[in-house]
A and B are shown apart, each in its own frame.
Chain A
């Protein structure tokens, strides 16, 4: 089984709809991240969390919100989706100690906003 899972894998929605993307991990990591990937722009950080009580904005947090329901779960919400939020979204996790700086990615969610 995959260590980092994302649901759904694909989603098509309409402008103005509320969307939630979910991420779960079995790696036991405390740090979780949400990224957005657009062609030619690499990965950009939306939000990240150190634990259930700690949420931090990344470089492109406007229009997004997150919830850390448990150490293993981190969800990303688009309260009112707009077409320029069409992108690939990735969740990632990172632990402490050992390979301290390495982030491990989920398989991604392809979101299309019409």
Chain B
């Protein structure tokens, strides 16, 4: 089945630094979503992208839908301790609009 490669697997950064993570696929997606999961909680939607080339911001977060429709990135600027968690990308494949394919996650640790 269609798979998403998410990188990096984990990041250890200092408070105030910027963060970048990305997802790539060998196949196209119609939609890209970025979720954050805090320990002991379910994933929470951060940003949704619906068009190739779209660049969307949500506070300190910025995400882009790759022009080839096969990738997406998420940037976090000026990280703070509450950014700690696991970030997941998810893509909606064109063959089934009711499904999402999830990446394996990027675990972010922020040190003061």
A residues near B (Cβ < 8 Å) are 4, 31, 40-45, 48, 50, 56, 58-59, 90, 92, 94, 99, 101-108
Within 8 A of A (CB), among B19-74: 30-31, 33, 35, 40-45, 48, 50
- Asked if A105 meets B44 with Cβ closer than 8 Å, knowing A41-B104, A50-B98, the reply is yes
By secondary structure, the B interface counts as loop
Q: Which of B9, B30, B43, B97 contacts A105 (CB 8 A)?
A: B43
- On whether the beta carbons of A102 and B33 are closer than 8 Å, the reply is yes
A31 to B4, CA, bound (A): 23
- On whether the beta carbons of A42 and B31 are closer than 8 Å, the reply is no
Task: Kindly report which residue of chain B lies nearest to residue A48, judged by CB atoms.
Answer: B98
* Ranked 6 nearest A-B pairs via Cβ: A105-B42, A42-B102, A43-B102, A101-B31, A42-B104, A105-B43
A82 to B27, CA, bound (A): 34
In the complex, how many residue pairs between chain A and chain B have their CB atoms under 8 Å apart? Answer: 58
Number of interface residues of B (CB under 8 A): 27
B residues near A (Cβ < 8 Å) are 1, 4, 6, 9, 30-31, 33, 35, 40-45, 48, 50, 88, 90, 92, 97-100, 102-105
Set of chain B residues within 8 Å of A50, measured between Cβ atoms:
98
Set of chain A residues within 8 Å of B88, measured between Cβ atoms:
42-43
Q: How far is the CB of B57 from chain A (nearest CB, A)?
A: 17
- 7 chain-A/chain-B pairs, Cβ below 8 angstroms: A31-B98, A42-B4, A42-B6, A50-B98, A94-B98, A101-B92, A103-B100
- On whether the beta carbons of B45 and A108 are closer than 8 Å, the reply is no
